[in-house]
Amino acid sequence: MTLFSNDVAAIDSCKEIKSKDTIILPGVGNAYSVSKFLEKNGYFDEIKEFENKNKKIIGICLGMQMLFKDLNEGGNSKGFGFFSSEVLEISKISKLKTNIGWRKIKSIDKNFLENENYYYFCHSYYVNINDEDYSFLKCVTEENPRIPAIIQKNNIFGLQFHPEKSQKKGIMLIKKFLEF
């Protein structure tokens, strides 16, 4: 199965974004450090312009959290603000300090994800969905606390879990988003 075309590339400069149809914001790092790097190197404006042109953005784990307004990992910083909710420590809602392992997610929007499946999570922060963003929430973890697992608004998708580590189901989900 071929998932990606030959024109997939890592972006080394914010100016390269203009020539792409889809960008994937990966899910590794510290929100404060990533936010400062993106701001310092001009990525914020380019990615916001990318979204304004109705091109696809897929955020994975930290990449999903970067889609929101206020981030708290490693200090207070700003995300892209495509969604207004803030990102908080999991320990504020759970005895857990991290959410690591296979978790079953269930669909809130029955038209979005047909079957409940297990996906691999590895994060210490979660999106505290507010009423304004609630309509964009598509799936949550089945266990308590229920953590937003998938969000979607127009051309923007966010996955709190790591589809690339979630075996065949995760790869199929990325393919679905790319074809959306």
Which positions are catalytic? Answer: 61, 162, 164
DSSP 8-state secondary structure symbol assigned to residue 27:
-
- Tokens 């080394």 correspond to 12
Paired tokens of 81: 């603000």
DSSP H or E segment with residue 149:
strand 148-153
**Alpha helix locations (H) across the chain?**
31-40, 43-52, 62-65, 167-179
